[in-house]
Chains A and B, each alone.
Chain A
Amino acid sequence: MPVLVSKSLRDYRRSLAGWTVGITAFFALYLSFYPSITKDPELYGRAALAKFPGAMRDLMGGLEDFTSGIGYLHSLVYQLFGPMLFVVCAAILGNRALAQPEESGTLELTVTLPVDRRRLVFERFAALALGLLGLAVVTFLAVWVLSSAVDMNVAFDRILAGHTGILLLSLLFGTLALAVGAATGRRGIAMAVVGVVAVGGYVVESMGRNVDAIAWLRWISPFHYYLDGRPLYQGFPTGDYLVLAGATVVLLVTAILAFDRRDVGV
């Protein structure tokens, strides 16, 4: 493994371990409620969910179905909480690639190493991708094992499709943080951009289904390419996932070009 990648991963390891434990615990907690919910379908069934205001149901991804394994898993893990937790983790790691070390001053020595600036950005990206992959693998296994343990009857490949989407989505946002950091060197700006795009993108995608005025905005929301294909219900939305991956590549190239051109630490 290239030395900058392994070094970055070593730097991320505590943070990654924390996020992995946290997200796994969060998923496990929610999955452990499932048996009690299926025991009482009237209380949580369609009629019960219909009582929530329409806009709120939209924001929660429709809340159509809570009592089937797929519906429960989608609503609680794959609709909002899973992606958002991953996105926050990815943005934090993406910021640690360049903007944070630049602000603290440790990037000064790194850029004077005999390593090309473009390679530096690429290797920091590779570390981000590997870190997120590790997080995704562990949480995927946890969801798969626990969902079988509570008899959710969700197929392995559907969980894999959902988790792949979360990974691609979070990698996109992590790369967005990295790219803004590469261009500006300010982690506050990078965090703000990720926050606006993530929250705005999610609202546009979930509300835009039923609000025509903003429906056209859905196609620029990253969440559209994750949620619209309903991976848990319909399996891999390959085309949409390729859009997420392509956008990540575009952001990476932008990051590399931007960082290669500018003054560091001024």
Chain B
Amino acid sequence: MTAVVRTEGLTKFYGDRRGLEDLDLEIRPGEVFGYLGPNGAGKTTTIRLILDVIRPTRGRVTVLGTDPRDARVRGRIGYLPGELALEGRERARDYLAFLGGVRGGVSRERIGALAERLEADLSAPMGRLSKGNKQKVGLIQAFMHEPEFLILDEPTSGLDPLVQQEFLAMVREVRASGRTVLMSSHVLAEVENVSDRVGIVRAGRLVTVEDIAALREKAVRLVEFHFDAPVPREAFEGLAGVRDLRVEGASVRCTIDGRPDALVKAAARFTMVHMVCAEPDLEEIFLTYYSEEGEHHAGAGV
């Protein structure tokens, strides 16, 4: 299986300003790839290089097995720009029909169904649409021709929570049908529930690429046990990954880093009446990556 996107040493400078440097990235067929980083880290630069909106200073990029300069490949991609501009008196319905026509034809029913799903207003002049409604039009045009590869730059910005849920459902459907998604965000929570892997970019450099599952395993969790009788503190001391241990009578509280196996086996020796295990806080890991690299945030942009 060839990669949907493969970049080798992909570098973009805007004059002296670094946009992206030495990016080696592979996006595999059928996965949802979350592309994370603070604003100005190089996410949009990467996306615009993949789509041939801008040209690399150095390095190579292939999309769906071809050079992005080949215009035909762009017909197999759906793209939602990070800063979507829709303006003028034209109605969204007409604009979508135009975009669909250039991409080889999209039925009116398909557009209508997506609009209904996202509760988008297609009949008002686009210049008068609210931010949220513009974003919905942007999502419709990205999804409507059922592209093999979806590139969504900050897709959830401006959407209310209900529409966000619907959008995430649409992304899952795309994955279920074997297609590929690249989705950028500056907030992990937006992508962690749908992504298979995440890449974290910071100041123009790729910091890490991780499986979401592996990231979860690394995550710090808060665990609480309640027993039917007081337990000795020694039984829980020195266990692998256990920190911030607090034993108060019959209850034990701690955080666990990595696998909870040793802790669970230690607790199993006593009679448990109740247990709480909080969802791993990926945000925290994410911030760790940020701050490790954060010391030298030299002029990276866009």
Contacts and interface: CB of A to CB of B under 8 A. Distances in A.
Interface of A: 3-4, 7, 10-11, 14, 104-106, 108-109, 111-117, 119, 261-266
A264 B45 CA distance: 12
Contacts of A14: 89
Given A109-B99, A113-B102, A114-B72, A263 B85 contact: no
12 contacts: A4-B102, A10-B90, A105-B85, A106-B86, A108-B81, A108-B83, A109-B99, A114-B103, A116-B71, A262-B55, A264-B54, A265-B53
Contacts of A119: 71
Interface string B62-92: 0000000001111101010101111111100
Contacts of B83: 105, 108
Contact of A112 (B74, B85, B88): B74
B127 to A, nearest CB: 10
B81 A113 contact: no
B42 to A, nearest CB: 13
B46 interface: no
B32 to A, nearest CB: 20
A263 B54 contact: yes
Interface of B: 14, 48, 51-55, 71-75, 77, 79, 81, 83-90, 98-99, 101-104, 141, 302
Nearest to B78: A112
A105 B83 CA distance: 8
A263 B302 CA distance: 13
A108 B102 CA distance: 15
A243 to B, nearest CB: 34
Nearest to B55: A263
Given A3-B102, A106-B85, A115-B102, A266 B14 contact: yes
Nearest to A261: B55
Nearest to A114: B75
Given A106-B86, A112-B77, A112-B79, A264 B53 contact: yes
A263 B53 contact: yes
A141 B86 CA distance: 37
A105 B86 CA distance: 8
A108 B85 contact: yes
Nearest to A14: B89
Nearest to B50: A112
Nearest to B138: A109
A3 B74 contact: no
Nearest to A119: B71
Contacts of A104: 85, 87
A106 B86 CA distance: 6
B91 to A, nearest CB: 11
B71 A114 contact: yes
Contacts of B51: 111-112
Contacts of A105: 81, 83-85
Contacts of A116: 71
A143 B48 CA distance: 50
Contact of B81 (A3, A109, A114, A115): A109
Contacts of B79: 109, 112
A162 B51 CA distance: 46
Nearest to A116: B71
A106 B137 CA distance: 13
Nearest to B86: A106
Contact of A11 (B54, B81, B90, B101): B90
Nearest to A120: B71
